[in-house]
Amino acid sequence: QSIDAIAVAGGPGSFTGLRIGSATAKGLGLALKKPLVEIPTVDALAYNLYDSRALICPIMDARRGQVYAGIYEFDGQKLHILEDQMAVPIEELAEKLKKYNQKVTFLGDGVPAFRERLKNELLADMKIQFAPAHLNRQRAAAVGALGMNYYREGRTVTAMEHRPDYLRVSQAERERAEREKKEKSGQ
């Protein structure tokens, strides 16, 4: 009974991982009659750089030249979302960042895939940096800390309402839609 709410990484991320985490959080929430606090994955990644002075841009490799990303900054100790999490081509993200004209720190599993393009091509005219390796991964502590903040702000859902946010449909769903489209057109 000492639990007020259950924080859960809400996505994006691995379809299987999100389903397992969501099912566990939903089960606990239903059994304990407690609300859930959905923490967007890229929000939690940004929180790894607590109190940073630069813009923060977590990037997760979404494959096919796309990233899951968001744009954040800290105002003192408060994380501000400048651009909500999104699934975009890396080129589109670079264009969004150029509009801020500020120093940017990148982190996340997309850094190895896009580091050289960001540094030497897409944002060569901007001051950018990359977080140290130990801050590049999702951390339960960041989800928990943000969970407490979001809970205080009233950002909760019931366990029944919670759904993972994949940001885009799975490959299996895309392939099924393509098959159905072909079948409808008689091909």
pTM of this structure:
0.86
Please give the residue that has the higher pLDDT: either 173 or 48: 48
Query: What does the pLDDT read at residue 172?
Result: 63
Query: What does the pLDDT read at residue 140?
Result: 93
Query: What does the pLDDT read at residue 48?
Result: 95
Cα–Cα distance measured from residue 112 to residue 122, given in angstroms and rounded to the nearest whole number: 15
Contact 87, 167 (CB under 8 A): yes
Cα–Cα distance measured from residue 159 to residue 187, given in angstroms and rounded to the nearest whole number: 43
> Which pairs with CB-CB distance under 8 Å and at least 24 residues apart come from 127-133?
127/103, 128/103, 128/104, 129/54, 129/103, 129/104, 129/105, 130/105, 130/106, 131/48, 131/49, 131/105, 131/106, 131/107
Q: What stretch of H or E contains 128?
A: strand 128-130
Tens of pLDDT, residue by residue over 73-93, are 999 889 999 999 999 999 999
Tens of pLDDT, residue by residue over 96-127, are 999 999 999 999 999 999 999 999 999 999 99
The arithmetic mean of pLDDT across residues 8-13, rounded, is 89
Please tell me whether the peptide bond between 35 and the residue prior to it is cis, using omega within 30 degrees of 0: no
Query: What does the pLDDT read at residue 17?
Result: 87
Query: What does the pLDDT read at residue 77?
Result: 83
Instruction: Give 83-124 as a DSSP string.
Output: EEEEEEEHHHHHHHHHHH-S-EEEESTTHHHHHHHIIIIITT
The arithmetic mean of pLDDT across residues 37-63, rounded, is 95
Read off the pLDDT band of 180 (50, 70, 90). confident
Is the pLDDT assigned to residue 173 strictly greater than 70?
no
Is the pLDDT assigned to residue 58 strictly greater than 70?
yes
